[in-house]
Amino acid sequence: MRLISALVMMASVSAYAADQADSFLKKDQPFKSARKAVLTHGWKPFKNPDPSTLIGVDKILYRAGYKEVYSCAMDIGVCILQYKDKKGQCLSVFVNGEELRDMVVSDWNNECQ
C-alpha cells in the first residue's frame, strides 16, 4: 500500500512540473524567449550526458552553448531540450526548426531521457 501511495505522489509531483510550465511556455513561442522564461522560472539546463553522440543541428546547438540539447531528429527538424528544477523534476521542451533563429516551441512534458 505504501508503494502505491508513493507512486501516486511521485506521478502528481512530476505532472505538476509540466503543468507549471503551462504558465510560461506557449506553442509557437520563439525558442530563445521560451528558454529565457524557463531559466527565469528556476529551471536549469540538464546537460547532455554524452555530447559525443550529437550530430547535425543538436551538435550546432550544443557548440553554441545550449548544453541542454538532448537530441534532434535529422529528418523532421524537431529537437528536445531538457531542464531540471531544484527538486530534480524534469522539463523537456520540444522545438521545431533547423536554425536557431527559426526555432519555435512545439510541446513540452515532464519526462527526461
Residues of the chain with pLDDT under 70: 1-19
Confidence at residue 76, expressed as pLDDT on a 0 to 100 scale: 86
User: C-alpha angle 96/109/111, rounded to 5°?
Assistant: 110
Best CA proximity match to 26, nearest among 39, 16, 37, 15: 37
The domain spans of the chain are 2-109
Q: What is the pLDDT of residue 20?
A: 79
- pTM of the complete model: 0.81
Residue type, 110: N
CA 72 – CA 51 distance, rounded (Å): 12
State residue 9's pLDDT score: 36
Note the pLDDT of residue 113. Answer: 78
Q: H-helix or E-strand containing 44?
A: strand 44-45
Q: What's the pLDDT at 94? A: 97
Distance from C-alpha of 42 to C-alpha of 51, rounded to nearest angstrom: 24
